[in-house]
Structure 1
Amino acid sequence: MSPDTARPESRPNRVMGHEARRRRAHDSRLPQLARAGHEELNRESIGVDNAGLTPGDVAALRESLQEQRLFRQEQLQQIGGASQARADQVRGQHSASQTEVHIKLAACARMVLAEVEAALQRIDQGQYGRCQLCTRPIVLDRLRIVPQARYCTRCQQVREAGR
């Protein structure tokens, strides 16, 4: 008997055996994959308010925001004070580009200060850490880097792409 004619049913069984082994290997990983997904979900959904952030997370993020608020307030005072002092010393000698730089720096500082104030208000209202577009929790690592973030990474990318 040639290999092609001998036991024609053995070839499909071998294929099915391979398929069954592949499925079994995949199925044995399912609990592990589900557990990893569940842990990720738990990390994002501990607690009820503030997008499931722990009280310790919220306290640390609040402290970071308060430091940023203080820094921006001081920055605005310095920009305003420096501009006024220079204006008094050298009236009319400021170049247009220097004035423009000061105006833009002050505008950026005011914008970030407003975002920080809004984030502190969201903490007080129990709405902090949730994307304002899709309402999903914002990942803690993102909040640690940008504590005033209003959007999750995906929604932020969509917004930036639309500009």
Structure 2
Amino acid sequence: MTQQISAVDNHRLDPAELTVLRARLHEDRLFRRQQLQDIAQGANDPVETTYAADLAAHSEIRHKLTVAAQTALAETEAALARMDAGRYGGCGRCGRTISIQCLTVHPQARYCTPCHHFLETQR
């Protein structure tokens, strides 16, 4: 069941913008789930090599791809949860509204651009 959210609840985003962003997040969720399934199925494919180093490298690559896809899926799920809770589009650090330009490029965004840059410099 999809919860109807008003634009006021989601940092005054236009309802049409929210609809488009929600659809993109749902598409990304489907893509990530399929990606994880494909990676898992590929783990059962025989690797055409007899070298242990090649087998280890393939295993490491699969592991890194899995972690990246799981992380992206978690970010998408979190964005959808924020949207359902009426908190979508608000910066998780300062509370200001994340620009529609930023959300259009990265609908999973948790932070406004200044806070994102600040947090990146702290790493």
TM-score bracket relative to the smaller structure: 0.7 to 0.9
Structure with the bigger RCO (C-alpha within 8 Å, sep 6+) is 2
Please give the per-residue CA displacement for 1:27-70, whole angstroms capped at 9, x wherever unaligned.
Answer: xxxxxxxxxxxxxxxxxxxx421011011011000000000000
Equivalents in 2 of 1:97, 1:85: separation in Å? 14
% identical aligned pairs: 42
Secondary structure of 1:95's counterpart equals helix
The equivalent of 1:48 in structure 2 is 8
Q: Which of 118, 138, 141 is 2:98 aligned to?
A: 138
* 1:70-85 correspondence runs (5 A): 70-85=30-45
Larger Rg: 1
Equivalent residue for 1:151? 111
Q: Structure 1: which 4+ aligned runs deviate by more than 3 Å? A: 89-94
Residue aligning to 1:63: 23
1:8 alignment counterpart: none
1:156 partner letter? H
Q: Distance in 1 between matches of 2:106 and 2:117?
A: 14
Contact kept, 8 Å, 2:49 with 2:55, in 1: the verdict is: no
Residues 2-40 of structure 1: per-residue CA shift (max 9 Å, x gap) = xxxxxxxxxxxxxxxxxxxxxxxxxxxxxxxxxxxxxxx
Query: 1-side partners of 2:77 and 2:51: how far apart?
Result: 36
Q: 1 CA distance for matches of 2:41 and 2:114?
A: 40
d(CA) in 2 for partners of 1:64, 1:74:
15
Structure 2 segments unaligned to the other structure (5+ residues):
1-6
Q: What's the TM-score once normalised by structure 1's chain length?
A: 0.67
TM-score, length of structure 2 as denominator length: 0.87
Supply the distance in 2 between the matched residues of 1:78 and 1:92 (Cα, whole angstroms). Answer: 24
Which protein has the bigger helix share?
A: 1
